[in-house]
Chain A
């Protein structure tokens, strides 16, 4: 009896010591900072800290414009960071500089990993086929349509199934004398994704791992189908105001809200913004149109969380990542933020994501034969700067200063040279 008592005492003491152990403080840096997003993270952190009294999370939120640079500077100086936000654009750089931890051993012990959608695995293993981060949100383009304006012209949004349908609708709408245009063009701040989404859907054998290099090793810019897609994009542009050559995201949204250009291709986080300016019956979202191939190769943007390679508290950092990546927390976060969640459970059981405007994306996720989610060669040393080069060339092309053949030849040269 004495022995048992001693054992119990020891156990109680041991547990006591462990639970009284030092509080760990994790430094967590977000890069896609916005005031709302900071508030949501603070809420998640508060809930997490209530469940894990031994872990404190210190959220670092540099202004969005400087965040990537600040992150790099801090990592270069080996300043105390444990969890960092990783984006599609930055993951390659972060891995190549040896700043991220391979998460394979942690994922192996994580039960919720089974509910991750295939796209989440694809994103996690972007670099070296190794999971260096757990994605949190996806950005996939779909077609936003002003139902009220299209109704006046007798166009049903659900009929916009191919890009030819979209072009026909835009040409039907186009009437500059009434300040009515069709397509909502993007002219600057990485406009490449707009024509590319259309043009790649014309290509039968595009390569989902690298949209710019075909399976035969040639660049997509040599493909006659890709060129045909671009020809259609130029026609679409002609139904957009000429001024759209200088339009970024804000101008696009403004033009859509004003009704001048009622057909817009955008990411799901636009929904929250539009809901503050339009009634829900004024617009809808339909799945991305497909090309003559019956397919589309939508690019997917993503952001997620990774653990810094020199972190002293990797176990605790993983605990936090596993918590925010659980279907419930992830769904809550994305409901506020706008993009698409990472768990199949959410798409099936959460009415917010399975009905309404989000059903367009749910449909795309459920039809992998039509929608082949694809990557740009972010890993290529050619990528940095490409959006700027493409932007200048695309502007020249749409202004009519250079021919499509010349632009494609130039781009082929850029992507095939060593």
Chain B
């Protein structure tokens, strides 16, 4: 038996599982995106070309441009804060101190809770009438009337993003902390001898050393946030007046409210295409960066 054949047999189970549970469903999803596939009438399924996409782009009820804009804001702002705060937290947790284990356990806790449950809890915290935040602000005398964090379109998107940031910080903190702990102390000592201050050490030693981790966590997290409807679905269901609707939430609405699997699959296809293009561009920039071309 040749070596290659042996290796092939060894990876075969993984390949079979991936094909059955990932690639076949993706293929079917793409097929459904081009079909009239409605749960209300499953006896009438047929190929309808680009109709699903045209319906989504031209819908008068759900402004597609607004949904895309919301999605971009949702992803970029969430990611930027999650990363910055998560990185900061990882730097703070790197140095040993008393009770660090308990402290990091508490900090990482949100990551273990389901997004939907978090949405429900925060919906109460942000409630405009009985919410915790409004209660505190009122007692401090800062406001006399509750702020409609989730009912006022000016605040709603910001409010759900705050929750998403809170939820995502531990992910970056865990991943980056692990990477930080692998940076050899000698590098810092050498930098110190060369007279580098704290900031220089961070920019010229730490960040370059953990750059692969940074790159992969940002890539993963972008995909995750774009695909993540739980918090929005539980807190505002895309409202008020579509001001928090994102592509992922819109897909859920098309599936569970419209029962229109064709259009839901089309939105899924759009999300997948966006992520694929993003990943290709991102990885090519990153590999150029690694090879020092940029």
Q: How far, in angstroms, from A72 to B42 measured CA to CA in the complex? A: 10
A-B contact count (CB 8 A): 106
Which residues of chain B are within 8 angstroms of A245 by Cβ–Cβ distance?
A: 148, 151, 239-240
Instruction: Please tell me if the beta carbons of B241 and A401 are within 8 angstroms of each other in the complex.
Output: yes
Q: Is the CB of B259 within 8 A of A392?
A: no
Interface of B (DSSP majority class):
loop
B244 to chain A, nearest CB (A): 10
Contacts A96-B41, A188-B239, A395-B239 given; does A244 touch B151 at CB 8 Å: yes
- Give the contacting residue for B241; candidates A76, A254, A381, A399; CB below 8 A: A399
Residues of A within 8 A of B129 (CB): 241, 243-244, 251, 255, 260
Interchain CB contact under 8 A, B148 and A242? yes
Interchain CB contact (< 8 A) of A188 among B236, B254, B258: B236
From B153, B240, B242, B258, give the contact of A384 (CB < 8 A): B258
Contact of A387 with B by CB under 8 A: yes
Asked if A38 CB lies within 8 Å of chain B CBs, one says no
A93, B40: Cβ atoms under 8 Å? Answer: yes
Number of interface residues of A (CB under 8 A): 40
Complex Cα distance, B127 from A242, in Å, reads 11
Q: Which residues of A contact B257 (CB under 8 A)?
A: 384-385, 387-388
B interface residues, how many (CB within 8 angstroms): 36
Q: Does A97 contact B (CB under 8 A)?
A: yes
Verify A188–B237 contact, CB threshold 8 A.
Answer: yes
A92 interface hit (Cβ, 8 Å): yes
Secondary structure of the A side of the interface?
helix
Type the 1/0 row for A384-396, where 1 means its CB is closer than 8 Å to any CB of B.
1101110111011
A176 touches B (CB below 8 Å) = yes
A246 at the interface (CB under 8 A from B): yes
Q: Which residues of A contact B260 (CB under 8 A)?
A: 384-385
A187 within 8 A of B: yes
Q: A189 vs B256: C-alpha distance in the bound complex, in angstroms?
A: 12
Contact across chains for A187 and B253 when beta carbons are under 8 A apart: no
A92–B61 Cα gap in the complex (Å)? 24
Whether the Cβ atoms of B240 and A395 lie closer than 8 Å is: yes
Residues of A within 8 A of B148 (CB): 242-243, 245-246
Quick one: closest A residue to B238, CB to CB?
A392
Partner of B151, one of A76, A98, A242: A242
B150 within 8 A of A: yes
List of 8 A-B pairs having minimum Cβ-Cβ separation, nearest first? A243-B128, A385-B258, A246-B151, A245-B151, A396-B241, A395-B240, A395-B241, A388-B257
**Chain B contacts to A: CB under 8 angstroms:** 38-43, 60-62, 127-130, 144-146, 148, 150-153, 156, 236-242, 253-254, 256-260
